[in-house]
């Protein structure tokens, strides 16, 4: 910093002349251009100039207010203080940056003008807190030192979850402080109406995460036949819990906690709750488990192409009982076990052109039996004697055997008699929560309902 000679005068014009000389000397000193987090010298120069201009302004106002032409009273403002204004501490400069990995930290700090020894210290201290390729968000506080050097005040480095490390310089000593993750959970609510295309596109238009769409189907599978009951303009709502960082950015997978659907004939509202067995399940508003012995449909997003009953068979050209329901869907669409039970038959016949083709039969715990015909493929591990759970993927839709196109032929047998799958869901095995479990459920339900009203709610 250029020095300012002491001026034995109260005339501000004399002070300004001295300042102009000092500023000229400062300008004649070569300024080093820096890279990295650039633009460092200009803010430092501006800081001193602004401070001095403020003092000059006060002095000029006081001087012009004197009627006598004699020296006016200036209080504590002295020429020595003007000298101090030029030599005051340079202002603190803050820069923010993002790195694709901690490996970029060394080149960034070096290009910004820090001494190589300090850069190495900082990189060595920061590296243990970040994995390779992990994005780094940095905040750098520094001041201009003697000559071209920069003096570090604070370096804050964080991951997306806000964990990381803060490094500060105090008396030439580097202090390193780890930061814990700063995460919270929020409940987000979304509403919408079914469009003319599909349930899938309707949910996406409502900004519901793609990862929750299967869960939406599962949560309401016992209450609705999605293939024939849901119509355009039917309203729906979901609420899901999401972990977020300090900036409100989502981290990890969302979790569906509420689903609702209204059709012309019914409305269903279901809440996710971990029951006394430690397993998550879906309950209605009163705390009754929605699970029944059989799901209404064992394939998502399909349309019913043929119903149960007598019909003229398109291949055999005669009238006969159509002993199940056909769900038309693209080849490869997942097929689910409609209830828990043991695989009784898993007949693989990929080249057959008549009959059942490749099919699976499941013997259920309540004595019912379900069949899944014309399959394209079986899921891994599916074989006679293997136990499967309700909703488990057992294979894929196909067109093997006596089929005119890809579809699932689904049958339900009770005591050896074929029944209409659309009217049979099996014995009502639903249970209702009681005691402490019911009280805990009601608390969870009320928290979700409040979040739905607010649109977004921080979870406790």
Digit-coded pLDDT (tens) for 253-276: 999 999 999 999 999 999 999 877
Contacts 24+ apart (CB under 8 A), 65-68: none
Q: Please determine, for residue 10, whether its predicted confidence score (pLDDT) is greater than 70.
A: no
Beta bridge partners of 342: 363, 387
Average pLDDT, the chain: 79
Q: Please determine, for residue 441, whether its predicted confidence score (pLDDT) is greater than 80.
A: yes
- Residue 426 vs residues 219, 351, 412, 423: alpha-carbon distances, Å: 18, 34, 10, 9
- Classified as helix, coil or strand, 435 is helix
Q: What is the pLDDT of residue 189?
A: 94
Residue 217: partners with Cβ closer than 8 Å, 6 or more residues away: 199, 226, 300, 301
Q: What is the pLDDT of residue 350?
A: 82
Between 86 and 269, the more confident residue is 269
Q: Please determine, for residue 19, whether its predicted confidence score (pLDDT) is greater than 80.
A: no
- Classified as helix, coil or strand, 96 is strand
Q: What is the pLDDT of residues 188-219, one digit of tens each?
A: 999 999 998 889 999 999 999 999 998 998 89
Beta bridge partners of 375: 397
Q: What is the pLDDT of residue 73?
A: 46
Of 221, 227, 230, 240, which Cα lies nearest the Cα of 195? Answer: 230
Q: What is the pLDDT of residue 407?
A: 93
Cα–Cα distance, 231 to 352 (Å, whole number): 37
Radius of gyration of the chain, Cα coordinates, nearest whole angstrom: 37
Backbone angles phi, psi at 43, to 5 degrees: -60, -35
- Classified as helix, coil or strand, 43 is helix
Q: What is the pLDDT of residue 2?
A: 47
Q: Which H or E element spans position 44?
A: helix 41-64
Phi-psi region for residue 332, left (φ > 0), alpha (ψ -120 to 50) or beta?
A: left
Instruction: Using CB atoms within 10 Å of the CB of residue 335, give its burial: 0 to 12 exposed, 13 to 18 middle, 19+ buried.
Output: buried
Phi-psi region for residue 201, left (φ > 0), alpha (ψ -120 to 50) or beta?
A: alpha
Q: Please determine, for residue 252, whether its predicted confidence score (pLDDT) is greater than 50.
A: yes
Q: What is the pLDDT of residue 27?
A: 55
Cα–Cα distance, 40 to 228 (Å, whole number): 67
pLDDT band of residue 148 (cuts 50, 70, 90) is low
Q: What is the pLDDT of residue 44?
A: 36
Backbone angles phi, psi at 393, to 5 degrees: -70, 125
Q: How would DSSP label each residue in 333-375?
A: -EEE-SS-EEEEEEE--TT--STT-SEEEEEETTS-EEEEESE
Q: Residues 296-305: what's their mean pLDDT?
A: 79
All structural domains of the chain, each given as residue ranges with its CATH number in brackets, are: 12-86 (no CATH), 93-179 (3.10.450), 184-283 (3.10.450.350), 303-419 (2.70.70.10)
Of 427, 445, 441, which Cα lies nearest the Cα of 291? Answer: 427
Q: What is the pLDDT of residue 442?
A: 95
Q: What is the pLDDT of residues 301-313, one digit of tens each?
A: 677 878 776 655 5
Q: Please determine, for residue 422, whether its predicted confidence score (pLDDT) is greater than 50.
A: yes
Q: Please determine, for residue 281, whether its predicted confidence score (pLDDT) is greater than 50.
A: yes
Q: What is the pLDDT of residue 41?
A: 37
Residue 423: partners with Cβ closer than 8 Å, 6 or more residues away: none
The beta strands (E) that lie in 100-223 are given as 136-144, 150-158, 164-170, 173-179, 184-193
Phi-psi region for residue 385, left (φ > 0), alpha (ψ -120 to 50) or beta?
A: left
Of 149, 151, 150, 155, which Cα lies nearest the Cα of 175? Answer: 155
Structure tokens at 187: 């409940």
Q: What is the pLDDT of residues 26-48, one digit of tens each?
A: 555 555 444 455 444 333 333 34
Q: Give percent of the chain with pLDDT exceeding 70.
A: 74
Q: Residues 291-309: what's their mean pLDDT?
A: 78
Q: What is the pLDDT of residues 346-402, one digit of tens each?
A: 999 888 777 889 999 999 987 899 999 999 999 999 999 999 998 899 999 999 998
Q: What is the pLDDT of residue 162?
A: 86
Q: How would DSSP label each residue in 257-323?
A: EEEEEE-SS-EEEEEEEE-TTS-EEEE-TTSBB---SS-S-SSTT-EEEE-SEEEE-TTT-SEEEE-
Beta bridge partners of 192: 236
């Amino acid at each position: 910093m250029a020095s300012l000679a002491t001026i034995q005068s109260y005339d501000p014009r004399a002070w300004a002349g001295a300042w102009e000389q000092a500023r000229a000397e400062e300008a004649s000193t070569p300024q080093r251009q820096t890279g990295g987090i650039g633009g460092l010298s200009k803010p430092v120069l501006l800081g001193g100039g602004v401070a001095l201009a403020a003092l000059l302004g006060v002095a000029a106002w006081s001087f012009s207010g004197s009627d006598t032409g004699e020296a006016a009273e200036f209080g504590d403002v002295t020429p020595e203080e003007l000298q101090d204004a030029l030599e005051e501490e340079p202002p603190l400069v803050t820069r923010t940056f993002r790195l694709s990995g901690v490996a970029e930290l060394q080149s960034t700090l070096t290009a910004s003008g820090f001494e190589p020894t300090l850069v190495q210290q900082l990189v060595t201290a920061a590296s243990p807190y970040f994995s390779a390729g992990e994005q780094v968000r940095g905040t750098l506080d520094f001041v201009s030192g003697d000559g071209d050097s920069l003096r570090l005040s604070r370096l804050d480095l964080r991951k997306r979850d806000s964990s990381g490390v803060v490094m500060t310089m105090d008396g030439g000593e580097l202090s390193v402080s780890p930061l814990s993750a700063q995460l919270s959970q929020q409940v987000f609510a979304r509403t919408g109406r079914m469009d003319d295309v599909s349930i899938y596109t309707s949910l996406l238009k409502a900004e519901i995460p793609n990862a929750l769409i299967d869960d939406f189907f599962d949560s309401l599978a016992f209450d609705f036949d999605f293939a024939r009951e849901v119509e355009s303009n039917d309203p729906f709502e979901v609420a899901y819990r999401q972990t977020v960082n300090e900036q409100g950015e989502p981290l990890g997978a969302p979790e569906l906690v509420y689903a609702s659907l209204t059709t012309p004939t019914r409305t269903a509202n279901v809440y996710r709750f971990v029951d006394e067995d430690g397993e998550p399940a879906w309950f209605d508003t009163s705390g009754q488990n929605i699970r029944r012995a059989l799901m209404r449909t064992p394939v998502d997003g399909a349309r019913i192409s043929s119903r149960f009953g007598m019909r003229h068979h398109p291949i055999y050209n005669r009238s006969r009982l159509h002993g199940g329901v056909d769900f038309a869907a693209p080849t490869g669409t997942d097929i689910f076990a409609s209830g828990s039970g043991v695989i009784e038959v898993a007949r693989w016949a990929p080249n057959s052109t008549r009959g059942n083709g490749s099919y699976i039969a499941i013997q259920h715990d309540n004595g019912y039996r379900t069949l899944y015909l014309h399959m394209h493929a079986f899921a891994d591990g599916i074989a006679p004697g293997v136990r499967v759970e309700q909703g488990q993927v057992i294979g894929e839709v196909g067109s093997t055997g006596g089929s005119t196109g890809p579809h699932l032929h689904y049958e339900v047998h009770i005591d050896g008699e074929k029944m209409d799958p659309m009217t049979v869901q099996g014995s009502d095995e639903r249970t209702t929560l009681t005691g402490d479990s019911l009280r805990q459920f009601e608390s969870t339900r009320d928290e979700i309902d409040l979040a739905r009203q607010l649109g977004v709610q921080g979870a406790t």
